[in-house]
């Protein structure tokens, strides 16, 4: 549960879908994923798609003097991925693991201080679930 590769793939799918809503998946990016990881990633993506308004509201309600439109696309989709994973598979004991994975993704794909922002927002948002 919570495989880093699966979550990274889910992030890439959500990011790709935001930039190109017609995209189905990322060709060639799935070859390293096991069947179980692919199922996990797609379940996270489907959770976001099914509950996008709720998830985006959870993010927006913790933005101070910002809106969703102002967020960096990568940061926004890291947040979406983490919250969708938590809503789908999360239990209180998985909260920190999900936040830590999101922080690691932010260090790889986000801006210089993205990881701090993502850590703080998820810490607050996932306390309320």
* pTM (2 d.p.): 0.91
pLDDT score for 25: 56
Cβ contact 85:10 at 8 Å? yes
Tell me what percent of the residues of the chain surpass a pLDDT of 70.
Answer: 90
* Angle, CA 99 vertex, CA 97 and CA 102 arms, to 5°: 110
More confident residue, 20 or 96: 96
Residue-number span of the structural domain to which 46 is assigned: 4-19+33-125
Task: Report percent pLDDT > 90 for the chain.
Answer: 74
Using DSSP, state whether 66 is helix, strand or coil.
coil
pLDDT of residue 22: 78
Altogether, the residues listed in the chain come to a count of 129
| Residue 15 within a domain | yes
- 119: pLDDT strictly greater than 80: yes
Judge whether 45 lies within some domain.
yes
pLDDT value of position 128: 65
Query: CA 129 to CA 3: how far, in whole Å?
Result: 22
Q: For residue 70, give the CATH number of its domain.
A: 1.10.940.10
Residue 60 belongs to a domain: yes
What average pLDDT does the structure give for the chain? Answer: 90
Across the range 48-58, mean pLDDT stands at 97
């Amino acid at each position: 549960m919570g495989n880093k590769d699966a979550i990274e793939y889910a992030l890439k799918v959500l990011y790709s879908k935001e930039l190109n809503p017609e995209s189905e998946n990322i060709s060639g990016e799935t070859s390293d994923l096991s069947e179980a990881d692919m199922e996990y990633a797609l379940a996270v993506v489907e959770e976001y798609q099914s509950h996008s308004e709720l998830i985006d509201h959870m993010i927006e309600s913790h933005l101070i003097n910002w809106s969703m439109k102002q967020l960096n696309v990568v940061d926004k989709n890291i947040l979406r991925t983490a919250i969708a994973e938590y809503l789908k598979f999360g239990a209180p004991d998985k909260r920190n693991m999900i936040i830590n994975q999101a922080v690691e993704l932010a260090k790889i794909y986000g801006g210089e201080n993205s990881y701090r922002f993502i850590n703080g927002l998820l810490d607050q948002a996932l306390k309320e679930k």
